[in-house]
Amino acid sequence: MKKYALVLGALLLLLPFVASAQMVLQQDNFSSMSGWQSGSGSWAVQGGRLVQSDTTAPMARVDHMLNQSGSYEISFNVQYVGGGYMNQMDLQNLSLHAGFGIQIAVSQPPLGKVAWGVGNSYLLWLNLDTRPSTMKNYPQHYGFRAQVYKSVSNTVMNVEPSLNVDIPAALGISLQDLLNYVQQEGLNTIVPIKIRVNTNTGRIMVEDPTAPTLWYYFDLPSSTLSGKYISFRTNALAASFGNFVVTQQ
């Protein structure tokens, strides 16, 4: 009995640490736009979701204050609303172009303004581009890619060459297989996104939405990962975001 009492006592002592390890820094079920400021695009709250409805906006962005330090986790979900193609012929030919992502470690965003970059920050981006012109002129952006852009100002932002991943190639499938899968499953699926950032070590971890126990990681300079704002972004895509939660790890 004494042994079990000691174990129980140890567990009780650990409870405060377990609770603090998952401290919620921010939670938003999008009942209003409170705290979110549109920089470009058409952002609004609809049915408990944050929606960007302009399918033509190339640099749609919405900003929110969020102090980022230590180790934290961002989770949200995203759903396709519309866009990604110029006309019905492009859709039939699967000549597509659209992207969305989240900008982290933002120090001074251009609040209320259109901008290519967002001060000193990093954009974690998913991009689909199957246009023949992209294959010809910008093959490094062709296909379905997970990309990290480094922003150094509101006008200068470039993809990091070592963090420009051809997703179908990495999975050992063809781009056509991926497009066929999307067509079969439909575009209305709500996709969960979970990202962990450690500003002390520079490690970024992204959970595979199709396999929740599988995480992909990469490293960035830790000295550049602290920030005061985050931003959702889309390109030529109407999308909605929901269940936004940030926890300190």
Q: Which domain holds residue 89?
A: 23-248
Helices (H), 72-227: 88-92, 132-137, 167-171, 175-185
Mean pLDDT, rounded, of the chain: 91
Percent of the chain with pLDDT over 70: 91
Q: State the Cα–Cα distance between residues 107 and 121, nearest whole angstrom.
A: 7
- Segment 88-95 shows an average pLDDT of 92
Residues comprising the chain, all counted = 249
The answer on pLDDT for 170 being more than 80 is yes
- The pLDDT score that the predictor gives to residue 236 is 95
Q: Are 118 and 150 in contact (CB under 8 A)?
A: no
The answer on pLDDT for 190 being more than 70 is yes
User: For the CA atoms of 23, 217, 194, 228, what is the dihedral angle to 10 degrees?
Assistant: 60
- The pLDDT score that the predictor gives to residue 21 is 54
What would the pLDDT profile of 98-149 be if each residue is shown by its tens digit? 999 999 999 989 999 999 999 999 999 999 999 999 999 999 999 999 999 9
Structure-block tokens of residue 112: 């209320």
The answer on pLDDT for 212 being more than 90 is no
Evaluate whether residue 15 is within a structural domain: no
The answer on pLDDT for 20 being more than 60 is no
Evaluate whether residue 7 is within a structural domain: no
Evaluate whether residue 18 is within a structural domain: no
Q: Are 94 and 174 in contact (CB under 8 A)?
A: no
CATH number at residue 205: 2.60.120.560
Evaluate whether residue 10 is within a structural domain: no
- The pLDDT score that the predictor gives to residue 79 is 97
Other C-beta atoms lying within 10 Å of the C-beta of residue 117: 21
The answer on pLDDT for 186 being more than 90 is no
> The whole model's pTM is what?
0.89
Count of the separate structural domains present in the chain = 1
